[in-house]
């Protein structure tokens, strides 16, 4: 029995309700439903109480009450996570959704301060309104919140040029596991006064504290962006083409997404108003986006890249988008692919990474493992070549089922193979509850020990989102 499963005493719940007022909590089944549903539909959370504080001070007060009573808390943002990190399993559920304010936008400082519950899209819009770019971009950006994106070190399609969420944060405001508030909302570009404390909380999935606000980096908007699709000679050509494109654009590549033939078939089948830029989609293709500091001349650079790639035999065909609408049509295939995969029933998903130069090997390995364990089972691998990050989706062989034991064996083999390539079993999605037990198999004993030391040092009572990332009592 873990700390998180122990039901808090009624008087404690009453104390929380009194503290937060009638707007600040809920036991209503309808309201709770969206907070307890797992995006992938594999699990349902449960909680004795949903609390909805409206300020950092209220977060601090409720955390202090829980900490003193040894009652566990699970913080939640937009509930778009994929590993059960924000889904309560008996913990008090702390929704940050009412902390939804953009506190400051400073274009001269290229910074923006947003509260944890602000959806990503609102931050993107506020940056654009100030003539700036906040570059983080991912499928769930309308729902995912800044606090959750910080806590999970979110990735997405712009990592190649702008980095993960960790790279986009200048400062944080955090409620610590004992209820104290750390105000680290500095917007400094340079600050070497001791340990960089914000790094502790970024990507910690709420296990070391509750992020209540973040100071974010803004960027200049590129003067021009050009988009193309190219049919690769083979999978391994993807890395060489990426290197060529980076070199010939002086580092201007902003997206480089790998798509297999089946991606086009599935999207055409399941998603309305989609088109393929290829008469016959090739076995492997890439979507390339290059951004420039000058308004003119970018297309010539992209044409030169594609001509050089044709000459070197890296690609067999290519098409440059000649309008924003055409670029949008190219992107639509990539962006709707996860939905098409779900509709097709290729539901066994893997979020693995390897060094960029080993990403083709990662995919070949996964295909071989599936062929060995489940002959005939379809594999659709796509992802971010520039980040070495492949999303590998597996479905049942025609007329068969992917029963839990077989699914587990496939995942185990793919994860072991990724680890052997120097890779990661969770490139973007995190550990949460789902990969908690597996982590010690994939990371060294020294690493697990260091993680546990951090957890014990910052959350000695084990009240902050227990049994995510590291188990407390081991």
Site for a second copy in 404-443 (CB under 8 A): 422-431, 435, 439, 442-443
Binding of a second copy at residue 87 (CB under 8 A)? no
**Nearer of residues 45 and 383 to a second copy, judged by Cβ:** 383
CA dist., res. 136 & res. 149, Å (int):
9
User: Looking at 251, 283, 313, 345, which residue binds a second copy (CB under 8 A)?
Assistant: 251
Q: Measured between alpha carbons, how far is 387 from 98 in angstroms, rounded to an integer?
A: 34
Tell me the site size for a second copy, rule CB under 8 A: 102
Residues 296-315 that bind a second copy (CB under 8 A): 296-298, 301
Residues between 383 and 402 with contacts to a second copy, criterion CB under 8 A = 384, 386-389
CB of 291 to a second copy, least distance (A): 7
The nearest distance, CB 56 to a second copy, in angstroms, is 13
The answer to whether residue 38 forms part of the interface with a second copy (CB under 8 A) is no
In the complex, least distance from residue 227 CB atom to a second copy, rounded to whole angstroms: 15
Segment near a second copy (CB under 8 A); pick from 139-147, 338-346, 379-387, 399-407: 379-387
As a residue count, the chain comes to 474
φ/ψ of 406, rounded to 5, equals -70, -45
Q: Which stretch binds a second copy (CB under 8 A): 137-145, 244-252, 320-328, 368-376?
A: 244-252
User: Of 24 and 156, which CB lies nearer to a second copy in the complex structure?
Assistant: 156
Give the span between the Cα atoms of 253 and 234, in whole angstroms: 21
Shortest distance in whole angstroms from residue 242 CB to a second copy: 8
Q: Given the structure tokens 């790279």, which residue do they identify?
A: 167
C-beta closer to a second copy: residue 11 or 190: 190
Torsion of CA 187, 192, 196, 197, to 10 degrees: -70
Where do the DSSP E strands lie in 79-209?
92-95, 102-106, 111-115, 169-175, 181-184
245 vs 402, which CB is nearer to a second copy?
Answer: 245
Answer for the pair 410, 393: CB distance below 8 angstroms, yes or no: no
Q: How many CA atoms lie within 13 A of 95 on its CB side?
A: 24
Question: 68, 196, 234, 403: which one contacts a second copy (CB under 8 A)?
Answer: 196
- Smallest CA-to-CA distance from 309 within 322, 320, 323, 325 is with 320
Sequence-ordered list of residues with C-beta below 8 angstroms from that of 244, at least 6 positions apart, any chain: 305, 308, 309, 312, 314
Is 135 in contact with 168 (CB distance < 8 Å)?
Answer: yes
**What is the nearest approach in angstroms of a second copy to the Cβ of residue 177?**
11
Q: Which of 179, 212, 204 is nearest to 69 (CA)?
A: 179
> Footprint of a second copy on residues 313-372 (CB under 8 A)?
353-358
User: Which residue stretch of 18-26, 35-43, 48-56, 453-461 sits at the interface with a second copy (rule: CB under 8 A)?
Assistant: 453-461
- Per CB under 8 A, the segment of 46-54, 139-147, 185-193, 337-345 that binds a second copy is 185-193
The residue range among 22-30, 86-94, 180-188, 271-279 that interacts with a second copy, by the rule CB under 8 A, is 180-188
Q: Which range touches a second copy (CB under 8 A), out of 2-10, 141-149, 163-171, 398-406?
A: 163-171
Of 435, 433, 471, nearest to 452 by C-alpha is 471
Q: From 343, 248, 213, 225, select the one nearest 294 (Cα to Cα).
A: 225
405: exposed, middle or buried (Cβ count in 10 Å: 0-12, 13-18, 19+): exposed
Q: How many other C-beta atoms lie within 10 A of the C-beta of residue 170?
A: 22
Binds a second copy (CB under 8 A): choice among 48, 177, 222, 417? 222
Q: How far is the CB of 396 from a second copy (least distance, A)?
A: 28
Of positions 57, 183, 328, 437, contacts a second copy by CB under 8 A? 183
The span from the CA of 82 to the CA of 360, in Å, is 25
């Amino acid at each position: 029995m873990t700390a998180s499963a122990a039901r808090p005493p009624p008087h404690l719940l009453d104390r929380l309700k009194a503290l937060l007022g009638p707007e600040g909590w809920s036991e209503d089944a309808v309201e709770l439903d969206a907070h307890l549903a797992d995006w992938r539909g594999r699990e349902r959370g449960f909680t004795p109480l949903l609390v909805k504080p409206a300020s950092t001070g209220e977060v601090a007060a409720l955390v202090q009450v829980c900490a003193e009573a040894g009652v566990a808390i699970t913080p939640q943002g937009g509930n778009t996570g994929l590993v059960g990190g924000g889904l309560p399993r008996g913990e008090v559920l702390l929704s940050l959704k009412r902390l939804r304010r953009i506190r400051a936008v400073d274009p001269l400082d290229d910074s923006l301060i947003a509260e944890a519950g602000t959806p990503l899209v609102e931050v993107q819009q506020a940056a654009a309104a100030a003539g700036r770019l906040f570059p983080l971009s991912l499928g769930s950006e309308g729902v995912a919140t800044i606090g959750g994106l910080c806590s999970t070190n979110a990735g997405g399609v712009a990592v190649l040029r702008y980095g993960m969420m960790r790279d986009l944060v200048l400062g944080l405001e955090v409620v610590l596991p004992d209820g104290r508030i750390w105000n680290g909302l500095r917007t400094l570009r340079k600050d070497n006064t001791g340990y960089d404390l914000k790094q502790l909380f970024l990507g910690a999935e709420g296990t070391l504290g509750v992020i209540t606000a973040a100071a974010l980096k803004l960027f200049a908007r590129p003067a021009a962006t050009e988009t193309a699709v190219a049919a690769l000679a083979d999978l391994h050509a993807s890395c060489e083409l990426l290197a060529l494109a980076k070199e010939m654009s002086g580092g201007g590549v902003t997206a480089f997404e790998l798509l297999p033939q089946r991606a086009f078939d599935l999207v055409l089948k399941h998603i309305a108003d989609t088109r393929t830029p290829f008469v016959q989609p090739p076995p492997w293709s890439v979507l390339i986006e290059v951004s420039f500091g000058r308004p003119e001349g970018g297309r010539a650079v992209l044409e030169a890249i594609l001509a050089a790639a044709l000459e070197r035999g890296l690609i067999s065909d290519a098409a440059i988008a000649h309008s924003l609408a055409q670029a949008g049509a190219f992107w639509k295939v990539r962006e709707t692919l996860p939905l098409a995969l779900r509709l097709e029933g290729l539901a066994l998903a893997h979020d693995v990474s390897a060094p960029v130069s080993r990403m083709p090997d990662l995919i070949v390995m996964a295909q071989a493992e599936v062929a060995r364990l489940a002959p005939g089972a379809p594999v659709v691998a796509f992802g971010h070549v520039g980040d070495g990050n492949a999303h590998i989706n597996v479905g049942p062989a025609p007329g068969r089922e992917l029963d839990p034991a077989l699914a587990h064996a496939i995942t185990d083999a793919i994860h072991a193979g990724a680890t052997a390539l120097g890779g990661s079993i969770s490139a973007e999605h995190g550990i949460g509850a789902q990969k908690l037990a597996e982590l010690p198999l994939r990371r060294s004993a020294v690493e697990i020990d260091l993680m546990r030391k951090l957890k014990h040092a910052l959350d000695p009572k084990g009240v902050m989102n227990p049994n995510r990332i590291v188990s407390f009592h081991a």
